[in-house]
């Protein structure tokens, strides 16, 4: 099996404020989805959420604040799954809770060096 990186993106500014109960329910949906992948023995790394701020290092050691603020969509997290094909990895991604919130999942095969 190959490893595939699932990259979760959404427009953070468009996300509604949620109550503690809604946040707990959202976390449960994520854990249930990840748990389903793990139950199939197809989870390499559950991944993590990413904070909204960071730095970008450019050629010449030029450092800017990042990620790129002019882009509405932000990378908010990732997971790594095992699959035989890109299509199979895409099927695993179809249950991702970010989709119900208007976000998307990018599926990329990891090329081992």
98-107: average pLDDT: 93
pLDDT digits (tens, 9 = 90+) for 17-71: 889 998 899 999 999 999 999 999 999 999 999 888 888 888 999 988 876 656 6
User: With b meaning 16 or more CB within 10 Å and e meaning fewer, what string describes 32-55?
Assistant: ebbeebeeeebbbebbeeeeeeee
Question: Which domains, from first to last, does the chain contain?
Answer: 2-109 (3.30.70.1060)
Supply the DSSP string of 38-97, one letter for each residue: HHTT-EEEEEEE--S-EEEEEGGGEEEEES-TT-S-EEEEEEEEEESSHHHHHHHHTT-G
Could you tell me which of 6, 14, 5, 4 has the C-alpha nearest to residue 73?
Answer: 14
For the record, the structure tokens of 14 come out as 């468009």
pLDDT tier at 89 (50, 70, 90 boundaries)? very high
Stated pTM of the model: 0.88
Residue 72 in contact with residue 13, Cβ under 8 Å? yes
Tell me the average pLDDT of the chain.
91
8-state DSSP, 15: S
């Amino acid at each position: 099996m190959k490893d595939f990186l699932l990259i979760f993106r959404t427009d953070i500014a468009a996300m509604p404020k949620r109550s503690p109960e809604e946040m707990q329910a959202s976390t449960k949906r994520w854990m249930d989805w990840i748990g389903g992948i793990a139950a199939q023995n197809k989870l390499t790394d559950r991944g993590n959420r990413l904070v909204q701020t960071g730095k970008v290092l450019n050629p010449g050691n030029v450092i800017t604040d990042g990620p790129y603020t002019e882009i509405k969509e932000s990378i908010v997290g990732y997971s790594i799954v095992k699959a035989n094909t890109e299509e199979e990895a895409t099927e695993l991604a179809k249950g991702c809770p970010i989709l119900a919130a208007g976000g998307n999942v990018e599926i990329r095969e990891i090329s081992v060096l």
